[in-house]
A and B are shown apart, each in its own frame.
Chain A
Amino acid sequence: MTFKFARGGLLALALLAPAPAFAAGSPIDAADTGFMIASTALVLLMTLPGLALFYAGMVRRKNILATMAQSFGATAVVSLLWFAFGYSLAFRGDGAAIGDLSATFLSSIGVETVSPLAKTIPEMLFMAYQMTFAVITAALVGGAVADRLKFSSFLLFCGIWLFVVYIPSAHWVWGGGFLQRWGLIDFAGGTVVHINAGVAGLVAALMLGNRQGFGRENLAPADLSLAVIGCGLLWVGWFGFNGGSALGSGSRAVYAIVATHLSACSGALVWCLLEWKSRGKPSVLGIISGAVAGLGTITPASGYVLPWQGALIGAVAGVVCFYASTSLKQRLGYDDSLDVFGVHGVGGILGTLLAGVFATAAVSASGSDPGISGLLQGNFGQFVAQVEGVAVTIVWCVIGTWISLRIVAVATGLRVSPDQEREGLDLALHGESMGG
């Protein structure tokens, strides 16, 4: 037996040892590539099933399946369009406003091709990683109009909005466009993902109008335990979202992950304590809402800040997003069903601004690059760049989302009929129910 094991071990060693994954002289790094493959999977896990569960747990029983269908629908539509044109328009070329069509259908991306935006991993991997970001951003929007948007309209909206809002925004901020040239820092998507999703959600909620019975009937969540599982998957997946945004496996990815985790913790705790004090009880929905607020808010700053700053940013997110999703929302009277604006929109704005306050040069420095410093280190210009980035993103997202929804309204309509809404979207749109 011992002899056999020894032989087996030697064979395994021989197979593992001298196996260069890529041709000699290739800039592709195995550790970076491995980490980014894992990060890509983690970010997809955030949508499927993370966001699907998080959202579905917060709607009424008759809309659970329809809400899950939105996450899966967004994934399918956005991924295919990203492969066809989206990636190329967002991350190829050097235009200030938009990329080019040099990699449509990915046909010009070979096994050795590397993007200048991610120099140590295959460009195909960079494409796939960015694809998962486009997917979750579109899926996030659905939460604001849950319980009343037609499925056909949502699919169409995902396809149009991807080109009108997401792709230009991703190009401006990450693909060498004008906001990047103006000096905006956004590590993992405070503007591109969270402000865009939150603001689009708010515009969509206003255009569709409130749910039937909003403010009168009981619209309480059917199964918060689903939302708790979803939030856990989002939290863990966020390590790939923010850590992977380092586009490599080094210390910066680790710093991003640590800041992310601490921010989620303080966001959860602060929201919970505020609710405990003001409402008398620490709700489970409050804990998971605070965690997501902390995660969304740290997103643009992760990779630029120290651990204690991550914890502090999460605490600020807990306070601000709590009031945005409770008192402010009630005062304004709009029905953003699952608080996409209150949590992601407000968190994205807050985090993008705070990145300009707390950015600490040592975290993003590498080699001869001194790194990015923010307001606290005396760099006022960085804060100005953040304000510009937030303003441009909000303005374009409002306009672009309005245009997208007008097109959808003409093509398929937006809202289900009042009867369908009463019956529930599961049965009315999908012909299925949760049974029981």
Chain B
Amino acid sequence: MKLVTAVIKPFKVEDVREALEKIGVHGMTVTDVKGYGRQKGHTEIYRGAEYVVNFQPKSRIEIAVAEDRADEVVELIVQSARTGKIGDGKIFVTPVERIVRVRTGETDRDAL
């Protein structure tokens, strides 16, 4: 099993969700996060006081998938979250040791 973590532009979350829904991935966790990569921040001015805001608002999507579907999911996120402009985000894929569904106690693939 793999955990696919994608940090993307917030307005792309719905596109990604729809694309994943179509290939039968039913479930994800979305968090509002802040950070920066190459995009850097922006400047805000309040009555002449300038503040550089280094962190950009992003959305982090986490999806647990079966090992053989990870590449497909990653490819789909890349396609649906891409704008081609700087700041489109990154995707991390990590191995998962165990998954448990809280309601039933089912584990691993059964819990997906």
Residues of chain A having any CB pair with chain B under 8 Å: 218-221, 279, 281, 283, 285-286, 289, 325-327, 329-330, 339, 342
Contact = CB atoms under 8 A, between A and B. Distances in A.
B26 to A, nearest CB: 30
A221 B46 CA distance: 8
Contacts of A326: 47-48
B33 to A, nearest CB: 16
B102 interface: no
Nearest to A343: B47
Contacts of B52: 218
Given A221-B46, A283-B46, A327-B48, 13 more contacts: A218-B51, A218-B52, A218-B53, A219-B49, A219-B51, A220-B51, A279-B45, A285-B47, A326-B47, A326-B48, A330-B48, A339-B47, A342-B47
A220 B46 contact: yes
Contacts, number: 28
B44 interface: yes
Nearest to B51: A218
Interface of B: 44-49, 51-53
A220 B52 CA distance: 10
A431 to B, nearest CB: 28
Nearest to B45: A279
B46 A285 contact: yes
A85 B67 CA distance: 81
Contact of B47 (A218, A281, A325): A325
A413 B18 CA distance: 59
B41 to A, nearest CB: 10
A290 to B, nearest CB: 11
A279 B50 CA distance: 10
Contacts of A286: 47
A54 to B, nearest CB: 13
Contacts of B49: 219, 330
27 contacts: A218-B51, A218-B52, A218-B53, A219-B49, A219-B51, A220-B44, A220-B46, A220-B51, A220-B53, A221-B46, A279-B45, A281-B45, A283-B45, A283-B46, A285-B46, A285-B47, A286-B47, A289-B47, A325-B47, A325-B48, A326-B47, A327-B48, A329-B48, A330-B48, A330-B49, A339-B47, A342-B47
